[in-house]
């Protein structure tokens, strides 16, 4: 009898745990990509940003409590496929390689890569000028992938800030990074400058596990509603424009 009661107790505990998890939307991010996701707030310990405000609304529309997990960018898809998180919101570009492993929402933001150099550096006038240069990037990003097409001297870091410091300290020729986060970093680093080259546009998407049609549909529904009612533009103005 004791064994039966013990098993029943474990079963009930397991069911309770599942119920609690079903009421929580766990979102993975890399909170070193301002203005999309970053650490801030009154106490300096809150994950904030454009993407975070979007997933707050997705959680609200889903009737769930939002939980945001901060982790390295290159571990986000691994965590998603392992079931440790439900979704990725991290300024993640939709690429065929990533689409082989996850399902994306509709694109919600158009981005592009930019070159960051020391002020007055005139050596980069075209994309061809990137060839053979020593380039700093954030690990696992499209900038990381793209840089390797131009040079075998690519140094990757866990955060864009670290990649920028490598440039600032003169250990690389340039940094390749997404435009909005690069512009954000340069606000406090006037000795660096941003150069726009004719790179192809990229499109950010929110990633869910392969086959999670229900969550993907909810994400797309919320995004569409936010764009229709003006909430999306308000967030763009708040965080980016």
Q: What is the CATH number of the domain that holds 216?
A: 3.40.190.10
**pLDDT score recorded for residue 71:** 96
End-to-end alpha-carbon separation of the chain, Å? 66
DSSP H or E stretch at residue 110: strand 109-111
pLDDT in tens, the chain (241 residues): 333 333 333 333 333 333 346 799 999 999 999 999 999 988 888 999 999 999 999 999 999 999 999 999 999 999 999 999 999 999 999 999 999 999 999 999 999 999 999 999 999 999 999 999 999 999 999 999 999 999 999 999 999 999 999 999 999 999 999 999 999 999 999 999 999 999 999 999 999 999 999 999 999 999 999 999 999 999 999 999 8
Residues 105 and 119 in one domain: no
The residue with tokens 């990757």 is 156
Q: State how many domains the chain has.
A: 2
Q: Which residues, in sequence order, are CB contacts of 162 under 8 Å at separation 6+?
A: none
Residues 153 and 121 in one domain: yes
Note whether residue 186 is domain-resident. Answer: yes
Q: Which residues, in sequence order, are CB contacts of 79 under 8 Å at separation 6+?
A: 28, 69, 71, 85
Domain residues for 138? 113-195
Contact 186, 57 (CB under 8 A): no
Residues 28 and 71 in one domain: yes
Residues 104 and 30 in one domain: yes
Residues 125 and 85 in one domain: no
Q: Which residues, in sequence order, are CB contacts of 229 under 8 Å at separation 6+?
A: none
Residues 132 and 101 in one domain: no
**pLDDT score recorded for residue 21:** 65
Contact 159, 32 (CB under 8 A): yes
Q: And the tokens for 182?
A: 């690069």
The residue with tokens 């700093």 is 136
Q: Distance between CA atoms of 129 and 133, rounded to whole angstroms?
A: 8
Residues 173 and 215 in one domain: no
Note whether residue 42 is domain-resident. Answer: yes
Torsion sign, CA atoms 142, 203, 127, 163: negative
Note whether residue 5 is domain-resident. Answer: no
Note whether residue 163 is domain-resident. Answer: yes
**pLDDT score recorded for residue 2:** 31
Residues 66 and 43 in one domain: yes
Contact 179, 111 (CB under 8 A): yes
**pLDDT score recorded for residue 114:** 97
Q: Distance between CA atoms of 52 and 54, rounded to whole angstroms?
A: 5
Residues 150 and 105 in one domain: no
Residues 160 and 177 in one domain: yes
Note whether residue 72 is domain-resident. Answer: yes
Note whether residue 6 is domain-resident. Answer: no
Note whether residue 170 is domain-resident. Answer: yes
Helix, strand counts (H, E) of the chain? 9, 15
**pLDDT score recorded for residue 19:** 34
């Amino acid at each position: 009898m004791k064994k039966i009661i013990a098993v029943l107790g474990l079963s009930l505990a397991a069911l309770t745990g599942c119920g609690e998890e079903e009421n929580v939307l766990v979102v993975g991010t890399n909170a070193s990509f301002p203005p999309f996701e970053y650490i801030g707030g009154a106490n300096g310990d809150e994950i904030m940003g454009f993407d975070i405000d979007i997933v707050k609304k997705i959680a609200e529309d889903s009737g769930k409590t939002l939980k945001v997990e901060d982790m390295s960018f290159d571990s986000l898809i691994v965590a998603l496929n392992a079931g440790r998180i439900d979704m990725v919101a991290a300024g993640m570009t939709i690429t065929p390689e990533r689409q082989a492993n996850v399902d994306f929402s509709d694109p919600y933001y158009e981005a592009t890569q930019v070159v960051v150099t020391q002020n007055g550096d005139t050596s980069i006038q075209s994309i061809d000028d990137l060839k053979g240069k020593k380039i700093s990037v954030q690990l696992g990003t499209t900038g990381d992938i793209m840089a390797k097409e131009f040079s075998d001297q690519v140094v990757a870091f866990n955060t864009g800030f670290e990649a920028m410091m490598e440039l600032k300290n003169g250990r690389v020729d340039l940094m390749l990074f997404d435009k909005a986060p690069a512009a954000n970093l340069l606000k406090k680093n006037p000795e660096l400058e941003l150069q726009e080259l004719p790179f192809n546009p990229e499109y950010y998407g929110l990633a869910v596990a392969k086959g999670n049609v229900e969550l993907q549909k909810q994400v797309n529904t919320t995004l569409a509603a936010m764009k229709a009612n003006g909430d999306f533009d308000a967030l763009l103005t708040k965080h980016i424009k």
